[in-house]
């Protein structure tokens, strides 16, 4: 296998495990095209499943010594579809049946889509149509939107998608109730789609439907699109949806060169529509295929662990997962593998957490392991677990950072603090913060103000003069015993905060809400004496909130209904509607800096989030290996990622056997992905009783016990 195969213009399908150097080869190929072949940068497209996966290309090309010229285009399927819909809108508007094709459409992101969907879900909730399931309103919205998105990506109508989903409802006493819930979700989907066409709104699902059904079916549009880029790099093809893979398949005959990269045992974004099975089929449409076998990242012995897991996991029909691809059997599994079990068992959950913190402290302080080379992973990362790890590591002087993209914005203390101050700064909203919200905000905003004193100050301020209008009293106006308990040092910081809010309210006109968030964080809360000083994680969250508010303002513009107070401007009412949206539990849109920022801090995250960052570390800690969440599908009564895929027969019923098989396959892919992203060791954390006090007997623990029973003790 020569370098010419990788560098010369051709169509090549390159597969291999994580860390084998596929992305490095792709970057060198792009440099060769730019430097040696003199190809213009804007004729090269790097297609990635998620924007963050294009970060290595951006950084490598920015640092390289290449001729000046147009930039290489790094896009996702969604961004490619959006630019195409905007460009070809005059040609396709009438065919899509918008109410007024002459009106330029408004593109919605995840947050603004939830905003427009909320009215239809709220109406159904008021009619008690979702009473038979115990799901939060925000999750109902996200699952209905997920059905719309997957239907568009598969080329299905809304009704055909829900026909499939109804086959996932198990027979029994609750069958009629569950089918009624599906019926409500189906109706909401149709209502939302009609609303978008009436108001010239384009959400992700409608954007993809227009792109696939109209633009790609127009010979002129397709030809113009395919001629725009002459060279393609398709990164992480296994994480892309069927629609993206089908687009690449149609594009290949028109390209001068193409490089398709595939991670073996990938497909972690299956819940978002990733199709690793169809990605393999692209190999039959290229001139050459190559496979890299060795990883430059994986710790020695990890491949033997993966092979043993592959052979041990068994499907219900008796066929082992990918047994034909296994390279080793029982032999060769020595006891020097980099898997570290705790030296003593932990009976209770807090004991396991304490063990993890002590091990991390030992690694950082006595083994000279950089905190940024340690990841603490769990199937799900609750607020309590995150806080316990963060606070204990902070006590020991070890920095840590966490990332949970599926967490609602209002679950972040930084966001709740900024929303409370936004209420105080905008009296026309008539939203007076409750003492509990004010306690949280003051405790977070003022450094060295503990929760008890923050509560004392908040309740005193809430009873003070101007409380009914949402204004904070001067610290000197509070009772003497309150001042003494809070301390005059904290009182001085409080007064500076109060003065800032008072000055803002006295301004002739309010700034847009996103600018308010940026101003109060930059001018005040990030300064010495305040709680977010030198808090990089807080700055990232504040930046995400400000960007989110700006996108909402630009996309929504004016609220759909006039404000309750006629004296309020529509501009002010838009800010209030955004705050209400965030407080309702809306999920945040993708925030690229949160994914790409690298800190020298222990990374705390759910296991799938770590995999989707596509990074490797020296040390991993797997917490709560006895939990049921490892490899199990999240309960989603209104959607089903496996049924809404091209690999599922439309009329087939989803059975318990399918559920077990799906869980086994997901567990193997998850473990293989984590193992291949560990350069040195993996520490396993186990407690007899879980976070909620239940006895731990989950699938991962069961699998490890089976491996030990077959091979003996393989702990280091």
Beta strands in 556-693 (DSSP E): 602-606, 617-622, 678-684
On whether the pTM is more than 0.95, the answer is no
The stretch 588-598 carries a mean pLDDT of 75
Q: For the segment 130-148, what is each residue's pLDDT rounded down to a tens digit?
A: 988 888 899 999 999 999 9
- Given a cut of 90, whether residue 355 has pLDDT beyond it is yes
pLDDT at 49 over 70: yes
Burial class (CB in 10 A: 0-12, 13-18, 19+), 509: exposed
**337 — pLDDT class (breaks 50, 70, 90):** low
Distance CA 245, CA 239 (A): 10
pLDDT at position 329 is 38
The answer to whether 215 touches 222, Cβ cutoff 8 Å, is yes
Residue 372 has pLDDT above 50, yes or no: yes
DSSP 74: E
List C-alpha distances in Å: 225 to 85, 96, 218, 251: 11, 20, 11, 9
Task: Render pLDDT for 616-632 as a digit per residue (tens, 0 to 9).
Answer: 999 999 998 988 888 88
pLDDT, tens digit, 9 for 90 and up, residues 411-437: 889 999 999 999 999 888 888 898 999
Distances from the Cα of 354 to the Cαs of 66, 362, 686, in angstroms? 50, 12, 12
Is the confidence at residue 700, as pLDDT, over 60?
Answer: yes
In this predicted structure, the answer to whether residue 338 has a pLDDT above a threshold of 80 is: no
| Segment 276-287, tens digit of pLDDT | 999 999 999 999
The owner of tokens 């993966």 is: 306
Tokens standing for residue 116: 């427009």
Tell me: pLDDT of 336 over 60: no
DSSP at 653: P
Per-residue tokens: 369: 């392991």
What Å distances lie between residue 337 and 187, 474, 682, 684, 685, CA to CA? Answer: 54, 63, 10, 13, 17
Partners of 13 in beta bridges: 260, 289
Kindly indicate the confidence band of residue 2, based on its pLDDT and cuts at 50, 70 and 90: low
d(CA 320, CA 314): 5
Work out the pLDDT band at 324, boundaries 50, 70, 90: very low
The pLDDT > 70 percentage for the chain reads 90
Examine the pLDDT at 599 and tell me if it is beyond 90: no
- For residue 681, the cross-strand partners are 619
Torsion of Cα atoms, 491 then 492 then 497 then 503, to 10°:
120
**DSSP codes joined into one string, 46-64:** EE-SSGGGGHHHHHHHHHS
Each residue's pLDDT tens digit, 217-265: 999 988 999 999 999 999 999 999 999 999 999 999 999 999 999 999 8
Rounded CA-CA distance 558/347 in Å is 56
Q: Is the pLDDT of residue 16 over 90?
A: yes
What is the share, in percent, of the chain residues with pLDDT greater than 90?
A: 53
Q: What is the pLDDT of residue 422?
A: 93
| Rounded Cα gap, residues 594 and 42, in angstroms | 27
| CB-neighbour burial class of residue 564 (10 A; exposed 0-12, middle 13-18, buried 19+) | exposed
The confidence score (pLDDT) of residue 328 equals: 41
pLDDT at 117 over 90: yes
Report pLDDT digits (tens) over 181-223.
999 999 999 999 999 999 999 999 999 999 999 999 999 988 9
Residue 342's CB is within 10 A of a number of other CB atoms, namely 17
Whether the Cβ atoms of residue 398 and residue 361 lie closer than 8 Å to each other: yes
pLDDT-derived band at 567 (thresholds 50, 70, 90) equals very low
Query: What values do phi and psi take at 587, rounded to 5?
Result: -80, 145
- What mean pLDDT is reported for the chain? 86
């Amino acid at each position: 296998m020569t370098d010419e195969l990788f560098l010369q213009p051709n169509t090549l399908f390159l597969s291999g495990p994580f860390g084998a150097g596929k992305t490095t080869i792709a970057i060198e190929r792009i440099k060769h095209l730019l430097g040696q072949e003199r190809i213009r940068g804007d004729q090269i497209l790097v297609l990635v499943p998620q924007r963050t996966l294009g970060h290595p290309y951006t950084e490598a090309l920015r640092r390289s010594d290449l001729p000046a010229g147009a930039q290489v285009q790094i896009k996702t399927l969604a961004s490619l579809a959006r630019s195409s819909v905007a460009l070809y809108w005059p040609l396709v508007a009438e065919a899509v049946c918008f109410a007024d094709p002459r009106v330029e459409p408004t593109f919605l992101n995840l947050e603004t889509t939830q905003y427009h969907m909320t009215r239809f879900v709220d109406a159904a909730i008021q009619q008690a149509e979702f009473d038979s399931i115990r799901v939060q309103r925000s999750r109902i919205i996200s699952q209905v939107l997920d059905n719309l998105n997957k239907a568009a990506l598969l080329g299905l109508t809304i009704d055909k998608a829900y026909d499939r989903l109804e086959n996932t409802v198990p027979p029994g006493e609750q069958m009629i109730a569950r089918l009624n819930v599906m019926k409500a979700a189906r109706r909401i989907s149709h209502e939302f789609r009609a609303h978008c066409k009436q108001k010239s709104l384009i959400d992700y699902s409608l954007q993809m439907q227009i792109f696939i059904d109209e633009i790609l079916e127009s010979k002129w549009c397709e030809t113009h699109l395919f001629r725009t880029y002459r060279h393609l790099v398709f990164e992480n093809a296994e994480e892309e949806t069927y629609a993206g893979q089908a687009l690449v398949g149609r594009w290949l005959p028109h390209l001068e060169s193409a490089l398709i990269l595939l991670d073996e045992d990938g497909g972690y974004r299956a819940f978002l529509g990733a199709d690793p099975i169809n990605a393999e089929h692209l190999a039959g449409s290229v001139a050459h295929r190559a496979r890299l076998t060795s990883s430059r990242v994986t710790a020695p012995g990890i491949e033997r662990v993966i092979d043993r897991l592959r052979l041990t996991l068994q499907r219900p029909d008796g066929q082992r997962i990918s047994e034909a691809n296994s390279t080793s059997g029982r032999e060769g599994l020595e006891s020097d593998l980099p898997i570290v079990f705790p030296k003593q068992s932990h009976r209770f959950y807090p004991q396991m957490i304490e063990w993890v913190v002590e091990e991390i402290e030992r690694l950082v302080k006595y083994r000279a392991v950089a905190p940024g080379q340690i990841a603490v992973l769990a199937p799900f990362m609750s607020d309590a677990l995150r806080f316990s790890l963060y606070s204990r590591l902070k006590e020991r002087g070890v920095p840590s950072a966490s990332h949970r993209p599926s967490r609602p914005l209002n679950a972040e203390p930084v966001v709740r603090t900024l929303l409370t101050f936004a209420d105080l700064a905008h009296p026309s909203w008539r939203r007076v913060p409750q003492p509990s919200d004010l306690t949280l905000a003051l405790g977070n905003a003022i450094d060295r103000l503990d929760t008890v004193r923050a509560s004392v100050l908040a309740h005193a301020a809430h009873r003070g003069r101007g409380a009914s209008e949402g204004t904070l009293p001067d610290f000197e106006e509070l009772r003497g015993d309150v001042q003494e308990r809070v301390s005059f040092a904290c009182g001085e910081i409080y007064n500076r905060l109060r003065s800032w809010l008072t000055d803002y309210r006295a301004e002739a006109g309010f700034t847009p809400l996103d600018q308010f968030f940026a101003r109060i964080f930059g001018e005040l809360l990030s300064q010495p004496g305040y709680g977010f000083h030198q808090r990089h994680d807080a700055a990232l969250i504040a930046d995400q909130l400000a960007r989110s508010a700006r996108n909402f303002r630009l996309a929504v513009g004016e609220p759909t209904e006039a404000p309750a107070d006629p004296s309020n401007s529509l501009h002010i009412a838009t800010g209030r509607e955004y705050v209400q949206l965030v407080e309702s539990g809306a999920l945040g849109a993708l925030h690229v800096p949160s994914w790409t920022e690298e800190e020298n801090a222990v990374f705390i995250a759910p296991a799938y989030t770590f995999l989707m960052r596509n990074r490797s570390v020296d040390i991993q800690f797997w917490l709560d290996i006895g939990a049921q969440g490892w490899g199990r599908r999240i309960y989603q009564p209104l959607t089903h990622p496996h049924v809404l895929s091209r690999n599922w027969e439309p009329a087939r019923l989803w059975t318990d056997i399918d559920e077990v098989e799906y869980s086994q396959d997901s567990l193997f892919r998850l473990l293989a992905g984590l193992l291949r992203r560990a350069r040195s060791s993996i520490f396993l954390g186990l407690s007899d009783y879980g976070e909620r006090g239940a006895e731990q007997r989950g699938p991962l623990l069961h699998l490890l016990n089976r491996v030990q029973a077959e091979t003996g003790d393989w702990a280091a």
